[in-house]
Every structure is written in C-alpha cells, then in structure tokens.
Amino acid sequence: MTVDDGGHLEALFERQVWTRPDAVACVTGGRRPRAVTYAELAAVIDRTAAGLRRAGVGAGTRASVMVPPGLELVALVHALLRMGAVPVLIDRALPQAALRGCLAEAAPEVFIGVPLAQVGRVALGWARRCVRTTITVGPRRLWLGRTVRGRREDAPAGPAAGPQPALDDVALIAYTSGSTGAPKGVPLRHGHLLAQVRMLERTRPLAPGTRVLSTFPPFAVAATVLGACAVIPAADPRRPSVLVSDARRFDVTVLFASPAVLDRMARYCLPRGRVLDPVRTVYTAGAPLSHAVLEHARACLPPGADLYSAYGTTECMLVSAIEGRNLALTGAATADGAGTCVGAPLPGQLVRIITVTDGPIRKWTDDLLVPPGAVGEITVTGPTVADPYLERPGATARARIEDGDRAVHRTGDLGRLDERGRLWFAGRAADRVRTSGGVLCTGHVEPIFDTVRGVRRTALVGVGRAPGQRPVLVVEPEPGTSRAQRSRIRADVLALAARRPGTAEIRTVLFHYRFPVDVRHDTKIRRGELAAWAEHRLATTRDG
C-alpha cells in the first residue's frame, strides 16, 4: 500500500491495524527491549485518546508534548492527531529563554510531559497563563498530578469515538530549530502531513514490515503509518555506539539520521572494522550531505546499500533528494566551489530561484527570477508548504510571497538550478559574507577547504559590517591535531585560497575545536555565535 491509496494519516494507520494486526509496529531499545504489534499499539492509542478526552482534551486543543522518543511519544502523537487536538512539539534541549518564549507564543491549554518537564514548568513559569491541565508521563516522582497511565486505566476499552479531523484542520505546531534566529512555530495541517509522507514515499517506498531506526521522532510516527516497524533507541540518539548496537540488534534495514549523527556512526564503526550489515537504505536530512561524510558513511555500509540525502525545511519538507552514488559524481564540482547538489525537486514541488533581498516581498512576479543557472534565494511552492508562522507576522512577511491562490515559501537558502534541473545548495542567505570585493557564499567556500588534510569541517564568517566585512575561515580540525599540524593546515588553507579568484580575499584562518551548533540538527552551525567569537578573538590576540 502507498499513501496515494487513501486520504488521512490516521486512516492509513488504521488500515495497517486491520490488515496486519500482528505485525510489529514499534520496538524500543534499552536493557529491556519492548516490541508492540499494530493491534497492541492501536489499543494503547485508543485508551490514550479516551483518557485525554476525559481530561478535557478535544478537537483544536493545543497540547504541549515534552516526552522523550519512545512508545509513549508515538502513542500520544497518534492519539492527539486522531482526536483533532494539536500537539505542540518543542525541543526540550532549547535554551530556557527560547523554550519559555515558544510556550508563551503557542499558548497550550494542556501540558503533557515527563516529571522533570513538569517541575521545570512550575519552577520556571512556562506557559503559566494558559495551561489549565497537566498530565505526567512516567512515574509520579517529584510530581503528584494526573498521569497518562492513570487516564488510560480510567478510560473505557474500545476505539475512541469522535469525528475524523479534516485535511484542512491544523494537525500540529512544530518549532523550527532557530539556527538563524529565534525558533518559530510552524502550523502544519493534516493535508501537509499527508503530502510530506507522500514525498517520502516518492523518494523510496518503505515496504511493510521494514525495520526503521530513526533519530528524528516524527519519522518514527510516519513509519508506523506506512506499515513499517519503528525502532526507537532508548538512550541518547546522538551516541553512535547505541545507534550501531540497536541497528544490529534489531536487524534494522532503514536508517534515518542527520549528517552529523551519520558521521559519528561512521567514525565509530570504521576504526573497529564494523559494517552496518543489516542496513540497506539510509535517509539523511537536516543539512546537505557533505562528500566527506558520504565517503565515511558508504565505507561502513554494506555493498549495494542506498543512501539518500533529502533537502527541505520544517516549512516545506520534502523538496528534493539525491542518492549517494549520484551525489558522489558531483564531488569534483563541489570541491571546486559549485555548492552541494541536493537533487531534482520531487514531483509536485515547484522550485524557483529569485534575486536575494533581505526585505519582505508581498506579491509574486516573474521579474523576481534570476537568470537560468544563477545563484539566488530558493523558493518552494507545493502541497507541503505550511501555514504562516504562529504569531509572527514580521517573520511570515519575510518568508512568504503571495502568488495568486498559492503561497511561495522563501527558504532563506541560497542555491541554483543547473541545466538538468538539479538544485545546488550554496548556504544560508543570512550567512553570506559581503566584502568590498563581492559576496561569498558559505556553501561555495567551505567545501573547498573541507578537503584539506586534517580538517574536519570549516565555517566561513564575516567580521565587521557589510559590505566591507572581513572574511574569516574558522577551522575545526580533526581530534588530536598538534600545534605543528595546525600550522601546516593554516598554510595549506591560505595557499589554496590564494590560488582561487573566488577565495583570494580569505587571508585569516582561526581554529575552533567545537563549533556551536543547533541543538536538534547538530550539523547546522550557529554562525552568528561563531562570527562573534572570531571578532573577539581577532580583537584580543594576534591570531590570524
């Protein structure tokens, strides 16, 4: 079955329950692994929905969900979607000020969380003015409020009654990572979620029964809708040893991870001579897949395994995808400053490149388009483009363009379309460095220097005010790099920069041993913080 066979995500899940009740839907790792069939998961979801309804949750109710990945999270999200309630999904690892701001903006009426989250809500005043009901997941340590388990026990057995939400109803509110500013709430309708799953299926359909290990919780929910078995690590998913162990222990054939997590898994496997022999397909998203990470990953995957790099944003996932073998063919162009190929747009997604501007654009006109093959801002029009940001009219105005009866999403990413219709990523528009000699795109510059021996990754930042910024290349060296090796790396970088017209302005190299990164997609470098660090470093030392 594919998602084109029928309408609603929860209806698709129910079809799995009816046709394959005894198939395993979800497996949780840890010392005591637990496998749950589709029939068992459906029963948990029904009881959860009934218990939530008795607690006053109904269609349209916003419910903040602060629960770690696992069976409880899968059951809660399914139950809320089925009821027409609106889960509010915010990463608990965000800084406290950002997290508090997100909750105040989303104004959830119900707060569902583990005991520690409940304590934090009270102690730090999260959503104090709007939350009217609290429900705890897990044991009532440090907290004496209602629990999900208690609500399930009080609820009647059998399917939870209630009308199915419409495709135009808001399904959930997901907060962006905030890697280029404060996190923003993205309302996604049920139709958007269905379109996202369709895009995933068009990349590579998941066969029923496929075991999928995902470090991105929403993908685990999507896997159960498609008839796959979601394998959810019990420990920190960023620990490569846990992921590698669970992949082998549970015979995982599909892996979903960010490029950074995939790189850590490869770096864990390669020195130990391990191969992820059960894995046959890898999906990676959250940032373009670098050629260095691609090489590391393919070295620890079995021959014939497929590796897909997907491009998209929270506001319009998925946009395009490219398989690793095709990506490898573009490696020479990337190392020569062409950017990173992220594949052809998926069917139904209209990608257009417009002239870069930092201000809002109200109405679409073809005069916005750049010449064919030129670099500009990537825009997307299609069925996955989400609604305007929650309570952020200014941010919405800068990110959306009206084009008749459809919306154009400005991704804030720079890129171009080549003569074959493939999209090439050139970095974030906000990260471009504007010097007296022109504009430098991070996605063009950094891959050139990532090839230097001893370099793990690089980040181009601008010091000073545009358009007279000083371009600074910050290098994160491989672990254990000595002082002499750093001197050699600096010399190699500067020599390489001087030989190229597009990078000749780069005459400053700094070393940083742990780039500040986004808490969720830790491939995304917080370049604003890194630029401030570089400016301070240059002002207080003779380095560079």
Does residue 278 form part of some domain?
no
Does residue 241 form part of some domain?
no
Residues 451 and 408 occupy one common structural domain: no
d(CA 226, CA 137): 26
pLDDT of 520 higher than 60? no
Q: Output the pLDDT for position 301.
A: 95
Q: For 2-18, what is each residue's pLDDT tens digit?
A: 444 445 788 899 999 99
pLDDT of 234 higher than 80? no
Domain range for 45: 37-189
Q: For 24-58, what is each residue's pLDDT tens digit?
A: 999 988 778 899 999 999 999 999 999 999 899 99
**Least confident stretch, 81-95, 199-213, 226-240, 276-290:** 226-240
β-strand partners of 133: 110
CB 146 within 8 A of CB 153: no
Residues 407 and 349 occupy one common structural domain: yes
Q: Output the pLDDT for position 363.
A: 97
The single residue listed with the structure tokens 């600096």 is 490
Residues 490 and 373 occupy one common structural domain: no
Residues 179 and 70 occupy one common structural domain: yes
Q: Output the pLDDT for position 37.
A: 97
Choice between 153 and 370, residue whose per-residue pLDDT is larger: 370
CATH no. for residue 444?
Answer: 3.30.300.30
User: Which residue among 397, 430, 463 closes a domain?
Assistant: 430
**Least confident stretch, 113-127, 364-378, 464-478, 512-526:** 512-526
- The tokens for 421 are 């219709």
Q: In 7-139, which ranges are continuous DSSP H helix?
A: 9-19, 38-54, 71-83, 96-106, 115-124
Q: How many CB atoms are closer than 10 A to CB 181?
A: 12
Domain count, the chain: 3
CATH no. for residue 106?
Answer: 3.40.50.980
User: Which residue among 375, 397, 430 closes a domain?
Assistant: 430
DSSP-assigned states of every residue in 221-271:
HHHHHTTPEEEE-SS-TT-HHHHHHHHHHTT--EEEE-HHHHHHHHHHHGG
Inter-helix orientation angle 217-225/71-83, to 10° = 60
Inter-helix orientation angle 217-225/9-19, to 10° = 60
Residues 424 and 440 occupy one common structural domain: no
pLDDT of 533 higher than 90? yes
Does residue 267 form part of some domain?
no
Does residue 443 form part of some domain?
yes
Q: Give the mean model confidence (pLDDT) for residues 445-470.
A: 96
Residues 409 and 350 occupy one common structural domain: yes
Does residue 90 form part of some domain?
yes
Q: Output the pLDDT for position 5.
A: 46
Residues 421 and 440 occupy one common structural domain: no
Q: How many CB atoms are closer than 10 A to CB 407?
A: 21
Closest to 221 (Cα-Cα) out of 10, 458, 463: 10
Residues 184 and 55 occupy one common structural domain: yes
Does residue 287 form part of some domain?
no
Strand, helix or coil for residue 384: coil
Q: For 89-146, what is each residue's pLDDT tens digit?
A: 998 778 888 899 999 999 999 999 998 888 888 888 899 899 999 999 987 665 556 8
The full 3-state SS of 117-137, as one line of letters, equals HHHHHHHHCCCCCCCCEEEEC
CB 188 within 8 A of CB 530: no
Q: How far is CA 357 from the centre of its chain?
A: 25
Does residue 31 form part of some domain?
no
Residues 477 and 415 occupy one common structural domain: no
CATH no. for residue 377?
Answer: 2.30.38.10
Does residue 71 form part of some domain?
yes
User: Which residue among 150, 172, 189 closes a domain?
Assistant: 189
Residues 54 and 185 occupy one common structural domain: yes
The single residue listed with the structure tokens 């290349």 is 473
Q: Give the mean model confidence (pLDDT) for residues 332-349.
A: 97
Measure the CA dihedral 239/528/359/464, to 10°: -160
Q: How many CB atoms are closer than 10 A to CB 30?
A: 13
Q: Give the mean model confidence (pLDDT) for residues 365-372.
A: 98
Residues 409 and 439 occupy one common structural domain: no
Q: Model pTM?
A: 0.94
pLDDT of 501 higher than 90? no
Residues 53 and 185 occupy one common structural domain: yes
E strands along 433-524, which residues?
Answer: 433-435, 438-440, 455-463, 470-477, 508-511
CB 378 within 8 A of CB 353: yes
Q: In 317-392, which ranges are continuous DSSP H helix?
A: 324-328, 331-333
Q: Which amino acid is at 113?
A: G
- Judging by beta carbons within 10 Å of its beta carbon (0-12, 13-18, 19+), is residue 531 exposed, middle or buried? buried
**How far, in Å, are 105, 121, 123, 140 from residue 96 at the CA level?**
14, 10, 12, 23
Q: Output the pLDDT for position 543.
A: 63
d(CA 330, CA 339): 9
pLDDT of 1 higher than 50? no
